[in-house]
Amino acid sequence: MTLHGLAEMTLGVPNVDATKQFYREFGLAESTDGVFASADGGDQLRVVDTPYRRLVQFAVAADDHDDVDRIRRAASDRDIAVIDHDDGSISMLEPIVGISAKVTVRPRIVQAEPYSWRAMNSPGNPARSGTRAPAIFNEGPARPRKLGHVLYTTPDFEASMQFLTDVLGFKVSDTSAGIIAFLRCSTDHHNVGLINAPVPFFHHSSWQVNDVDEIGQGAQTLLAVDPSRDIWGLGRHFLGSNLFWYFRDPAGNFAEYYADLDQIPEDAEWDARDWAPDKALYAWGPPVPKAFVHPADVEEIAAALQGVS
């Protein structure tokens, strides 16, 4: 696998200014107008104006142009139109939901280990003996390290999975009863998630932070501004095993802080399994709110899509 994760995403919203302010408070650094950077991944989010909220594009990072050429051939073999860009990247439309998928050559993200990972006392292991937890002194918003994954719905579950696997070269990590699928293009358990639903819409982006303390720190910052941003958390997912907390941006998209995600080495013999529906969402946490599985604006998005067609 010479793909190594998500490079960036472009988020379309009808209320650009308010949405940009949310992602500033979420902890991303605005490098230029409407372009936001994570701490380790650089520029990874672009916010642009669209009539309704949608994922306009996601880009995957490749090691070299050989992999870009492989994906170009795979797309052409399936009569998917490929656009070549001046920087050597390519893009194409996902044939079911119309999201632009871009493939670009980028260096791999190198991440320094956070001190806090080894500073937690546990039974039989007083790793922080004689000192206070560093986390109690943290102030301000969280500082996401990188964009981990995007998740969107599709009315043709199998065809969208085939595009990711047969064209882009993703691997399936886990699925649940034809409802949800998690696929990876890196050592992370998943970089794209799919939900089987009649209306295609963007569900959420997910951003890595160091640990559960930083999830709580980010949550405190966001909810101090507007408590109604809270959607679901704190909890731990079953598929991927990560800790999570989700928040709603002003356009209605969800943004997730995550930590402690399962890692799958490139040469690992991972047992991709299809799990029962009760494992699809979480191992523990608050009850799943209706707004998480059926956002309030789904019918509005459906009407907008009918108008486009």
The mean per-residue pLDDT over the stretch 232-259 comes to 98
Which of 75-89, 105-119, 164-178 is predicted least confidently? 105-119
Q: Above 70 in pLDDT, residue 84?
A: yes
Structural domain boundaries, residue 166? 3-108+144-308
CATH number, domain with residue 77? 3.10.180.10
Transcribe 80-146 into DSSP letters. Answer: ---EE-TTS-EEEE-TTT--EEEEEE-PPP--PPPGGGG---BTTB-TTTTS--GGGG--SS----E
Is position 304 within any domain?
Answer: yes
In a domain, 218, yes or no: yes
The percent of residues above 70 in pLDDT, for the chain, comes to 98
When pLDDT is averaged across residues 166-187 and rounded to a whole number, the result is 97
Mean of pLDDT values over 83-89: 96
Give the type of residue at 151. Answer: L
Measured distance CA(282)–CA(288) in Å, rounded: 9
Q: Is residue 129 part of a domain?
A: no
> Among 110, 93, 113, which Cα is nearest to 101's?
93
Helix and strand numbers, DSSP H then E, in the chain: 6, 17
Model pLDDT for residues 122-173, shown as the tens digit of each residue = 899 898 889 998 889 989 999 999 999 999 999 999 999 999 999 999 999 9
Tokens of 26: 């979420």
309 pLDDT tier (thresholds 50, 70, 90): low
- Amino acid 308: pLDDT: 65
- The answer to whether 167 and 76 are in contact (CB under 8 A) is no
Residue 135, domain member (yes or no): no
Residues 6+ apart with CB under 8 A from 209: 27, 142, 143, 144, 145, 215, 218, 257, 258, 259
Please report which confidence band the pLDDT of residue 116 belongs to, taking 50, 70 and 90 as the band edges: low
Overall average pLDDT of the 253-278 stretch: 95
In a domain, 279, yes or no: yes
Examine residue 31 and state whether it is found in any structural domain, yes or no.
yes
Q: With contact defined as beta carbons under 8 Å apart, do 175 and 226 qualify?
A: no
Average pLDDT over residues 37-44: 98
Structural domain count of the chain: 1
pLDDT at 118: 65
- Is residue 271 a contact partner of residue 22, using CB atoms and an 8 Å limit? no
Average pLDDT over residues 285-303: 96
137 is a domain residue = no
Residue at 123 is within a domain? no
Give 199-220 pLDDT, tens digit per residue: 999 999 999 999 999 999 999 9
For residue 103, pLDDT over 70 is answered with yes
Q: What is the mean pLDDT of residues 23-39?
A: 97
| pTM for the whole structure | 0.96
